[in-house]
Amino acid sequence: MQNGLRIETRGLTKRFGTFTAVNKLNLRIEPGESYGFLGPNGAGKTTTILMLLGIHKPTHGQVLINDQVVRSDAFALKRRIGVVAESQTFYDEMSAWEYLMFFARLFSVNEPEKRGQALLEQVDLWEWRDVLVGGYSAGMKKKLGFARALVHSPDLLILDEPVSGLDPFGIIQVREMLKAEQAKGRTLLISSHILSEVERTVNRVGIIANGRLIMQDDMENVRQKVSGFERIELTFASLDETAVQEIGKLPFVQRIDRDGNSISLLTKDDTDYREAVGRFVLEKRLILLEMKKAEKNLEEAFVTITENNLAHLAGKGKE
Amino acid sequence: MENTKAPNYRWHAIDSLQDRASQSKLWGLGVFISMTIAFALSSILLVNAMRYTETNLLMIEKQPLLISILANGILVSLYLALLASISVSRELDKGTLETLLYGPVDELTYILGGFIAHVKVFSLTLLGALIWSNLCVWLLNLSFRLDILGLLLASLFMAAELIAFGLFSAIWGGKTRNALINFILIVLFLGGVQIADFIVSGLVQIQTSTISDPLIVIRNVLASLNSTIRWISPFSQVQRAMQALINQQTGEFILNMGLMLLECALLLVGAILLLKKKGVRGVA
């Protein structure tokens, strides 16, 4: 079991001219935690990550990793961090093996050949190890980027959009790798807008929009905090169009989607309307096979939270 | 997994970077082609010097090898400085430098790694020059003097200065094309003024010119330019170092070597500070 690193930002702000990319960001990620950093495109996720890595200097505020200020020459600290960037670049004239061995040497990895082979086998690139990286597909490069980030067994893994460019099989592979890294006690910071992916990998989430952290909580609490609607799914023995229209006219129904004999209701608020729906079904003598409240996925939660907060911020701006 | 025996993280990183960069240069054909061209040119210069001695019935040519060795050093170091500039600006352009900076590499480490790699490759080409000069000494029955070693050392200092300038122009230019244009224009300017001054001053001396002759004006402008840039031009510095060796002026030789070293250090510090200021993404 390894010791993950703690990340803390205090009033972290980054301005590019008059544009504020990150605004007074206060994050705290505990050692061994798997943290999802979410936000729409342009929210400030990558800028925050670049400040965490010492690539961008903050305009105000501080980044602390294990209570140490991150500077570009913090070698001992940087040797404990692995990074998978959103847009990765490689030395195209090197083979995957040469590339990995170069980074293994840079990070002073013990038994680099053994480690390199294990990682390339894990990402299914062992057979392609002698091919020049320039000839790799985007997905293969992404996997090689994972191998590079893990070659020195880092205590903190920072991943910016880790599954973009990967096929479904690659996504499953990466997910398994991340779970394995988390099980070893490493801290994971995963920035993504593919929310369903983060939902399965992280145990805490921070949502950023317009450079501000608008929510930070446990995964479960984030789901519960999402208010404003519920989704009820019903399956009938048979269903005609009139019945569907009548259900759609119920006062608490916002939207109705039909798929054969199944319908999905989106309610106008977060009250549990299953009893009301049950009474209506009995009244109309419909044969109901199944009724359940659908678990909200993070995609819906994310859209709701960011939309509400952006509207709130816009309202504040007008005042 | 990490080897805790690594004594100094910065030096370890510099060593890893310089090894990768020098290996890639030595496995390529470019260095060997430039060396071949340089040796061919040096041989032509040497043959011409020998013919000149013969035709003018001179008994002694003080050091016929020095000019050839100097020409060889200038050509190879220019090629390596250009390579240094291209490789750094390509890393900036492509973003591979950013990936390095995620790890145990900072601006100083990166610049020093690139600098040492190219100086190392040049040192290896100097070995070739030493073998070539020994071969000439043996074949042409010339005398081998320690001046040759002094000039090889001066060539190394000049190459270091040019490579440092190549690195500086890469960071300064940002994009590969801009870096190349900056490098080539400045080198052409420094070398061009020196050569033009040499040619024009020779022409004016052999003419019976009046004071209003436009050639005189050009000569004066070039002479004043040359007197200024001779303190900063590596070509001028190495030439003066060579002259000092021939005239056995140790002080002058040390002064020019010191100037090359100082300029090299200033260019390296400038490159590091500029990279820190500009950042790898072009915004600080």
Question: What would the mean pLDDT of A90-95 be, rounded to a whole number?
Answer: 92
In a 3-state reduction of DSSP, which class is residue A5?
A: coil
Asked if pLDDT for residue B7 goes beyond 80, the answer is no
Token representation of residue B274: 């500029």
Q: Mean pLDDT score of chain B, rounded to an integer?
A: 85
Complex ipTM above 0.90?
no
Asked if pLDDT for residue B209 goes beyond 70, the answer is no
Please give the pLDDT value at position B5: 43
Smallest Cβ distance to A89: which of B12, B20, B95? B95
Chain A nearest-CA residue for B98? A55
Question: What would the mean pLDDT of B152-165 be, rounded to a whole number?
Answer: 94
φ/ψ of residue A267, rounded to 5: -85, 165
The alpha-carbon gap from B89 to the nearest alpha carbon of chain A, in Å, equals 14
Asked if pLDDT for residue B282 goes beyond 60, the answer is no
How far, in whole angstroms, is CA A126 from its chain's centroid? 28
The alpha-carbon gap from B251 to the nearest alpha carbon of chain A, in Å, equals 40
Asked if pLDDT for residue A309 goes beyond 80, the answer is no
Q: Which residues from A are below 8 Å from B when comparing CB atoms?
A: 16, 50, 53-57, 72-73, 75-76, 78-79, 81, 83, 85, 87-91, 93, 102-103, 105-110, 115, 148, 152-153
The alpha-carbon gap from A25 to the nearest alpha carbon of chain B, in Å, equals 19
Please give the pLDDT value at position A133: 94
Chain B nearest-CA residue for A111? B1
Contacts with A59 (C-beta within 8 Å, 6 or more apart), sequence order: A13, A14, A15
Nearest C-alpha neighbor of B102 from the set A50, A115, A57: A50
Smallest Cβ distance to A72: which of B1, B101, B284? B101
How many CA atoms does the CB half-sphere of B196 hold within 13 Å? 17
Q: Mean pLDDT score of chain A, rounded to an integer?
A: 86
Contact A89 B106 (CB under 8 A): no
Contact B98 A55 (CB under 8 A): yes
**Beta strand segments in chain A, E:** 7-16, 19-29, 34-38, 60-65, 68-69, 81-84, 156-160, 187-192, 204-209, 212-218, 231-236, 253-259, 262-267, 288-293
In a 3-state reduction of DSSP, which class is residue A8?
A: strand
Mind listing the pLDDT tens digit for each residue in A138-153? Answer: 889 999 999 999 999 9
Q: Where are the alpha helices (DSSP H) in B95-146?
A: 96-102, 107-140
> B262-266: which pairs have CB atoms within 8 A and are 24 or more residues apart?
B263/B161, B263/B164, B263/B232, B263/B234, B263/B237, B264/B157, B264/B160, B264/B161, B264/B164, B265/B164
Higher pLDDT, B54 or A107: A107
Chain B nearest-CA residue for A50? B102
In a 3-state reduction of DSSP, which class is residue A158?
A: strand
Mind listing the pLDDT tens digit for each residue in A166-184? Answer: 888 888 888 888 889 889 9
Cβ atoms A191, A198 nearer than 8 A: no
Cβ atoms B83, B35 nearer than 8 A: no
Please give the pLDDT value at position B204: 63
Report chain B residues whose CB lies below 8 A from the CB of A110.
1-3
Under the banding of pLDDT at 50, 70 and 90, the label for residue A300 is low
What is the DSSP pairing of strand A34-38 with strand A187-192?
parallel
Nearest C-alpha neighbor of B122 from the set B152, B85, B142: B152
Cβ atoms B77, B159 nearer than 8 A: yes
Q: Flag the least confident range among A228-237, B73-82, B134-143, B189-198.
A: B134-143
pTM of the model: 0.81
Asked if pLDDT for residue B207 goes beyond 60, the answer is no
Asked if pLDDT for residue B2 goes beyond 70, the answer is no
Put simply, whether B93 touches A (Cβ < 8 Å) is no
Interface test mutation site (partner A, options B5, B8, B9, B281, max chain A beta carbons within 10 A): B9
Sheet (strand A68-69) strand order:
A19-29, A7-16, A60-65, A68-69
Please give the pLDDT value at position B47: 82
Dist. CA A23–CA A213, nearest whole Å: 8
In a 3-state reduction of DSSP, which class is residue B186?
A: helix
Question: What would the mean pLDDT of A105-132 be, rounded to a whole number?
Answer: 94
Size of interface A-B (CB pairs under 8 A): 88
Asked if pLDDT for residue A61 goes beyond 60, the answer is yes
Put simply, whether B105 touches A (Cβ < 8 Å) is yes
Please give the pLDDT value at position A105: 95
Smallest Cβ distance to B94: which of A89, A103, A148? A89
Report chain A residues whose CB lies below 8 A from the CB of B96.
89-91
Mind listing the pLDDT tens digit for each residue in B76-94? Answer: 999 999 999 999 999 998 8
DSSP string for residues in A114-147: HHHHHHHHHTT-GGGTTSBGGG--HHHHHHHHHH
